[in-house]
Protein backbone atom coordinates (compact mmCIF):
# COMPACT_ATOMS: atom_id res chain seq x y z
CA UNK A 1 0.00 0.00 0.00
CA UNK A 2 1.14 3.52 -0.74
CA UNK A 3 2.63 5.40 2.17
CA UNK A 4 3.50 8.99 2.92
CA UNK A 5 6.54 10.11 0.98
CA UNK A 6 8.92 12.74 2.25
CA UNK A 7 11.86 14.28 0.51
CA UNK A 8 14.65 14.72 0.97
CA UNK A 9 15.36 12.09 3.60
CA UNK A 10 18.46 13.88 4.81
CA UNK A 11 19.44 17.52 4.50
CA UNK A 12 22.47 19.38 5.73
CA UNK A 13 22.41 23.17 5.78
CA UNK A 14 24.46 26.00 7.18
CA UNK A 15 23.12 28.54 9.67
CA UNK A 16 21.00 31.27 8.08
CA UNK A 17 20.34 29.17 4.97
CA UNK A 18 16.89 28.11 3.79
CA UNK A 19 15.43 24.65 3.39
CA UNK A 20 12.33 23.22 1.73
CA UNK A 21 10.88 19.91 2.84
CA UNK A 22 8.29 18.11 0.75
CA UNK A 23 5.53 15.74 1.70
CA UNK A 24 3.35 13.61 -0.55
CA UNK A 25 0.37 12.22 1.36
CA UNK A 26 -1.27 8.87 0.86
CA UNK A 27 -3.59 9.03 -2.18
CA UNK A 28 -7.07 10.36 -1.32
CA UNK A 29 -5.87 11.75 2.02
CA UNK A 30 -6.87 15.39 2.21
CA UNK A 31 -5.23 16.42 5.48
CA UNK A 32 -1.54 16.91 6.12
CA UNK A 33 0.23 17.57 9.40
CA UNK A 34 3.83 18.62 10.03
CA UNK A 35 5.68 17.65 13.22
CA UNK A 36 9.17 18.36 14.51
CA UNK A 37 11.05 15.88 16.68
CA UNK A 38 14.22 17.06 18.37
CA UNK A 39 16.87 14.58 19.58
CA UNK A 40 15.43 12.44 22.36
CA UNK A 41 12.15 14.37 22.27
CA UNK A 42 8.59 13.53 21.40
CA UNK A 43 7.15 14.91 18.15
CA UNK A 44 5.73 18.42 18.38
CA UNK A 45 2.96 19.64 16.09
CA UNK A 46 3.88 22.50 13.77
CA UNK A 47 1.05 23.11 11.31
CA UNK A 48 -1.72 21.34 9.43
CA UNK A 49 -3.71 21.70 6.23
CA UNK A 50 -7.10 20.41 5.19
CA UNK A 51 -8.21 20.71 1.60
CA UNK A 52 -5.35 23.10 0.82
CA UNK A 53 -6.26 25.51 3.61
CA UNK A 54 -4.32 25.90 6.83
CA UNK A 55 -6.41 24.26 9.51
CA UNK A 56 -4.34 24.59 12.66
CA UNK A 57 -1.06 26.00 13.86
CA UNK A 58 1.16 24.77 16.64
CA UNK A 59 4.63 25.73 17.76
CA UNK A 60 5.85 26.78 14.33
CA UNK A 61 8.40 29.61 14.30
CA UNK A 62 7.65 32.68 12.18
CA UNK A 63 10.70 31.77 10.10
CA UNK A 64 8.83 28.71 8.85
CA UNK A 65 5.94 28.65 6.44
CA UNK A 66 4.05 25.90 4.72
CA UNK A 67 1.39 25.31 2.14
CA UNK A 68 -0.63 22.53 0.59
CA UNK A 69 -0.96 22.41 -3.16
CA UNK A 70 -3.78 21.41 -5.49
CA UNK A 71 -2.43 17.84 -5.70
CA UNK A 72 -2.45 17.74 -1.86
CA UNK A 73 1.30 17.60 -1.49
CA UNK A 74 2.70 19.98 1.06
CA UNK A 75 5.94 21.90 1.46
CA UNK A 76 7.51 23.25 4.62
CA UNK A 77 9.76 26.22 3.97
CA UNK A 78 12.33 27.10 6.60
CA UNK A 79 14.39 30.27 6.45
CA UNK A 80 17.21 31.76 8.52
CA UNK A 81 18.00 28.30 9.84
CA UNK A 82 19.35 28.03 13.36
CA UNK A 83 21.30 25.26 15.05
CA UNK A 84 18.22 24.46 17.12
CA UNK A 85 16.26 23.64 13.98
CA UNK A 86 18.23 20.40 13.65
CA UNK A 87 15.61 17.72 14.06
CA UNK A 88 13.53 15.06 12.37
CA UNK A 89 10.63 16.59 10.50
CA UNK A 90 7.66 14.35 9.96
CA UNK A 91 4.70 14.75 7.73
CA UNK A 92 1.55 12.80 8.48
CA UNK A 93 -1.50 12.39 6.33
CA UNK A 94 -5.05 11.60 7.23
CA UNK A 95 -8.29 11.08 5.41
CA UNK A 96 -10.49 13.72 6.95
CA UNK A 97 -14.08 14.65 7.03
CA UNK A 98 -14.61 13.69 3.39
CA UNK A 99 -14.22 10.06 4.44
CA UNK A 100 -17.45 10.32 6.35
CA UNK A 101 -15.71 9.44 9.56
CA UNK A 102 -14.00 11.86 11.84
CA UNK A 103 -10.86 11.45 13.88
CA UNK A 104 -9.02 8.93 11.78
CA UNK A 105 -5.51 7.57 12.02
CA UNK A 106 -2.59 9.74 11.05
CA UNK A 107 0.00 7.93 9.00
CA UNK A 108 3.51 9.26 9.22
CA UNK A 109 6.18 9.50 6.57
CA UNK A 110 9.76 8.36 7.19
CA UNK A 111 10.81 11.88 8.08
CA UNK A 112 13.45 14.31 6.87
CA UNK A 113 16.50 14.58 9.07
CA UNK A 114 17.67 18.19 8.97
CA UNK A 115 21.11 19.02 10.28
CA UNK A 116 22.06 22.67 10.62
CA UNK A 117 25.79 23.31 10.96
CA UNK B 1 1.52 21.76 28.88
CA UNK B 2 2.31 18.20 27.93
CA UNK B 3 -0.86 16.27 27.23
CA UNK B 4 0.49 12.77 27.44
CA UNK B 5 2.76 11.27 30.02
CA UNK B 6 3.98 7.74 29.69
CA UNK B 7 5.40 5.31 32.13
CA UNK B 8 7.68 3.66 32.46
CA UNK B 9 10.18 5.80 30.59
CA UNK B 10 12.24 2.70 29.93
CA UNK B 11 11.38 -0.99 30.12
CA UNK B 12 13.71 -3.94 29.72
CA UNK B 13 12.31 -7.46 29.44
CA UNK B 14 13.23 -10.91 28.14
CA UNK B 15 11.87 -12.31 24.91
CA UNK B 16 8.58 -14.08 25.47
CA UNK B 17 7.54 -11.85 28.36
CA UNK B 18 4.69 -9.35 28.16
CA UNK B 19 5.33 -5.62 28.09
CA UNK B 20 2.87 -3.09 29.47
CA UNK B 21 3.19 0.62 28.84
CA UNK B 22 0.90 3.25 30.29
CA UNK B 23 -0.14 6.66 29.10
CA UNK B 24 -2.01 9.39 30.95
CA UNK B 25 -3.47 12.54 29.48
CA UNK B 26 -5.10 15.68 30.78
CA UNK B 27 -7.98 16.82 28.59
CA UNK B 28 -10.93 15.26 26.79
CA UNK B 29 -9.99 13.36 23.69
CA UNK B 30 -11.59 12.05 20.52
CA UNK B 31 -9.17 9.20 20.19
CA UNK B 32 -5.84 7.94 21.37
CA UNK B 33 -3.28 6.43 19.04
CA UNK B 34 -0.18 4.37 19.75
CA UNK B 35 2.91 4.62 17.59
CA UNK B 36 6.18 2.77 17.47
CA UNK B 37 9.49 4.32 16.52
CA UNK B 38 12.77 2.56 15.96
CA UNK B 39 15.75 4.70 16.84
CA UNK B 40 15.81 7.80 14.65
CA UNK B 41 13.33 6.33 12.21
CA UNK B 42 9.72 7.01 11.26
CA UNK B 43 6.62 6.64 13.39
CA UNK B 44 4.64 3.51 12.66
CA UNK B 45 0.96 3.61 13.50
CA UNK B 46 -0.02 0.67 15.69
CA UNK B 47 -3.58 1.15 16.82
CA UNK B 48 -6.27 3.80 17.31
CA UNK B 49 -8.85 3.61 20.06
CA UNK B 50 -11.77 6.01 20.07
CA UNK B 51 -13.11 7.71 23.16
CA UNK B 52 -16.20 5.51 23.19
CA UNK B 53 -14.16 2.30 23.10
CA UNK B 54 -12.65 0.56 26.10
CA UNK B 55 -10.44 -2.11 24.59
CA UNK B 56 -9.00 -2.97 21.22
CA UNK B 57 -6.85 -5.81 19.94
CA UNK B 58 -4.52 -6.11 16.99
CA UNK B 59 -2.39 -9.21 16.78
CA UNK B 60 -0.16 -9.30 19.86
CA UNK B 61 -1.23 -5.80 20.84
CA UNK B 62 -3.98 -4.97 23.29
CA UNK B 63 -4.92 -1.39 24.09
CA UNK B 64 -7.25 -0.24 26.82
CA UNK B 65 -8.71 3.18 27.39
CA UNK B 66 -10.20 4.51 30.62
CA UNK B 67 -11.60 7.96 29.94
CA UNK B 68 -12.65 8.41 33.56
CA UNK B 69 -9.02 8.07 34.63
CA UNK B 70 -7.72 9.68 31.43
CA UNK B 71 -5.35 6.81 30.88
CA UNK B 72 -4.51 4.13 28.34
CA UNK B 73 -2.30 1.07 28.34
CA UNK B 74 -0.56 -0.83 25.58
CA UNK B 75 0.16 -4.49 26.18
CA UNK B 76 2.50 -6.41 23.91
CA UNK B 77 2.24 -10.11 24.52
CA UNK B 78 4.94 -12.71 23.86
CA UNK B 79 7.49 -10.01 23.09
CA UNK B 80 10.23 -10.46 20.54
CA UNK B 81 13.62 -8.83 20.15
CA UNK B 82 12.21 -7.08 17.07
CA UNK B 83 9.73 -5.26 19.32
CA UNK B 84 12.64 -3.21 20.70
CA UNK B 85 11.68 0.40 19.97
CA UNK B 86 10.19 3.51 21.54
CA UNK B 87 6.43 3.53 21.93
CA UNK B 88 4.45 6.77 21.97
CA UNK B 89 0.86 7.46 22.80
CA UNK B 90 -0.72 10.41 21.01
CA UNK B 91 -4.05 12.05 21.73
CA UNK B 92 -6.41 13.74 19.32
CA UNK B 93 -7.76 16.42 21.60
CA UNK B 94 -11.46 17.22 21.54
CA UNK B 95 -11.97 20.87 20.82
CA UNK B 96 -14.87 23.20 20.20
CA UNK B 97 -16.67 22.00 17.10
CA UNK B 98 -14.86 18.68 17.04
CA UNK B 99 -11.30 17.57 16.67
CA UNK B 100 -8.37 19.93 16.76
CA UNK B 101 -6.83 17.33 14.49
CA UNK B 102 -3.23 17.55 15.52
CA UNK B 103 -1.81 14.91 17.82
CA UNK B 104 -0.19 15.58 21.15
CA UNK B 105 2.45 13.01 21.94
CA UNK B 106 3.62 11.59 25.21
CA UNK B 107 7.30 11.35 26.05
CA UNK B 108 7.42 7.71 25.04
CA UNK B 109 8.54 4.45 26.59
CA UNK B 110 11.79 2.95 25.41
CA UNK B 111 11.29 -0.82 25.28
CA UNK B 112 14.23 -3.19 25.13
CA UNK B 113 13.53 -6.87 24.55
CA UNK B 114 16.51 -9.08 25.21
CA UNK B 115 16.83 -12.32 23.23
Buried (b) or exposed (e) across A37-68, using 16+ Cβ within 10 A? beeeebbbbbbbbbeeeebbebebeeebebeb
Scanning every residue of chain A, which has its alpha carbon at the shortest distance from the alpha carbon of B88?
Answer: A42
**Average pLDDT of chain B to the nearest whole number:** 89
Q: Is B1 exposed, middle or buried (0-12, 13-18, 19+ CB in 10 A)?
A: exposed
How far from A33 is each of A53, A56, B35, B88, CA to CA, in Å?
A: 12, 9, 16, 17
Q: Note if the bond before B59 is cis, omega within 30 degrees.
A: no
- Please indicate if any CB of chain A lies within 8 Å of the CB of B56: no
Collect all residues of chain A within an 8 Å Cβ-Cβ radius of residue B88.
42-43
- Please indicate if any CB of chain A lies within 8 Å of the CB of B108: yes
- pLDDT at residue B61 in the model: 97
Confidence grade of residue B7 (pLDDT, cut at 50, 70, 90)? confident
Mean pLDDT of B5-31: 91
- Least-confidence region, from A6-15, A96-105, B76-85: A96-105
Statement: residue B56 has pLDDT above 80 = yes
Collect all residues of chain A within an 8 Å Cβ-Cβ radius of residue B90.
43, 106
Longest dimension (CA), chain A: 45
Mean pLDDT of A35-54: 92
Confidence grade of residue B3 (pLDDT, cut at 50, 70, 90)? low
A90-103 confidence digits (pLDDT tens): 999 988 654 445 56
Confidence grade of residue A43 (pLDDT, cut at 50, 70, 90)? very high
DSSP B16: T
d(CA A32, CA A49): 5
Query: How many residue pairs bridge chain A and chain B with CB atoms within 8 Å of each other?
Result: 64
Q: How many residues does chain B have?
A: 115
- pLDDT at residue B110 in the model: 95
- pLDDT at residue A97 in the model: 58
A55-109 confidence digits (pLDDT tens): 888 889 999 999 999 999 999 999 999 999 999 999 999 886 544 455 678 899 9
Amino acid sequence: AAGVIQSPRHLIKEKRETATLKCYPIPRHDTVYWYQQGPGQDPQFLISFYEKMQSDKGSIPDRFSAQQFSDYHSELNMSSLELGDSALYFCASQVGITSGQLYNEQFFGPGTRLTVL
Amino acid sequence: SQQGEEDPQALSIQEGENATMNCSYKTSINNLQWYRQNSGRGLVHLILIRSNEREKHSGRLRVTLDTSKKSSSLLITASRAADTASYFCATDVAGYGGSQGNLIFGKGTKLSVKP
